[in-house]
Structure 1
Amino acid sequence: MKHCRKTSTLSIDRTYDSSVVYPGPHLNMIVGANGTGKSSIVCAICLGLAGKTAILGRGDKVGLYVKRGCPKGFIEIELYKRGGNVVINREIHVDNQSLWMLNGRHCNQKTVEEEVKALHIQVSNLCQFLPQEKVGEFAKMSKIELLEATEKSVGPPEMYEYHCELKNFRNKERELENVVKEKASFLEKAKQRNERNKHDVNRYYEKKRHLDVIELLEKKKPWVEYETTLNELKGVKREREEAKRQLSALRQAQAPMLRKIQEIENQLKPTEAQIKAKTAAIKEASNKCKQKQDQLDRKHKEIDDIKQTLRLKQMEEEDHQKRISNTRRTIDDLKAELAKVGDQPDVTPRINTINVELRRIQEERAKIEGEKADLRREKDHLFAESRMLEKKLNDMNNLMNAKEEKLRGRHKDTHTALQWLRKNKEQFHGNVHEPMMLVINVRDPRFARYVEHHISFHDLRAFVFQRKDDMEKFMTEVRDKMNLKVNSISAPEESCSKRPPSRNIESLRRFGFFTYLREMFDAPDEVMSYLCHQYRVHDVPVGNEQTKAMIKTVIEEPYLKVLYTTEERYTVKRSFYSNKISTSNSAVHPSQYLTITVDTEEKRQLEQQIKACEQKSREIDERLKALQKDATALDRRDNELLAEKKRLSELKGKRRQLEQKISTKQDSLRQMEQSVIDLKKIEEETKEKIEAVNFQKVTIVKAFMAQMKLRAKLTMEKVYLALEAVGLTAEKTKLENDCREGASELKATDQKCNRLEVRKTELTEQCKGLLKRAKSICRMQSDESLPEDLHNAFDKLPNTLDEIDAMLNEERSRAECFTGLSESVVDEYNRREQEIKHLEKELEDKSNALNAYRQNISEAKERWLNPLKQLVEQINDKFSDFFRSMQCAGEVDLHSENEEEYDKYGIRIRVKFHSSTQLHELTAHHQSGGERSVSTMLYLMALQELNRCPFRVVDEINQGMDPVNERRVFDIVVRTACKETTSQYFFITPKVSFNLQQVRGQRSEQGPDLIECVLVCVCVCVGVCSSVFVVTAATINIFMLTMDHMITCGRYRIIPQLIKLLAYCLAVWLQLITVLVHSASFPATVEKTENPL
Structure 2
Amino acid sequence: PDDFDKIQQHLYGRMKLVDVFLRQAPTIALADYRRPCSDQQLHQYGLDGWIVDLLDGPDEVLAMLCDNRMVHQNAYTLSDVSNAQADALRHRDSPITSYATATQTHRVMRRKEYGDQATSIRTEFLRPARLFTDAPVDRRHEEELNAKIRDAEHDLEELREAITSNTADFREHTRIKAAVDKEKKQIQDDKNRKQAEQATWAGLQPKLDEAEQKLETAYTQIRTHRESQREIAARGDTIAFQKGELILDYANSIDAVRTVHVQLFKAEIIRIEAQSDLEQLKLRNQEDIDALEECRQEHEAMTAAVAATLAEGRRLGELCAAVTGDGLTDVEDEVFAQMREWMPDTLETEIQSVQARLEMNTGGHMGIIKEYEDRVRAIDRARGKVGDLETTLATFEESIERVKSIWEPRLDALIVQISEAFAENFAQINCAGEVGVFKDEDFDQWAIQIRVKFRESEPLSLLDSHRQSGGERAVSTIFYLMALQTLARAPFRVVDEINQGMDPRNERLVHSRMVSIACGQEGGSQYFLITPKLLAGLEYHRDMKVHCIASGEFMPDSRGEGKVDFGVLARRALEVRARAEGRA
TM, length-normalised to structure 1: 0.17
Which one scores higher on RCO, CA 8 angstroms, separation ≥ 6?
1
Give the greater-gyration-radius structure (CA).
Answer: 1
The normalised TM-score by structure 2 is 0.31
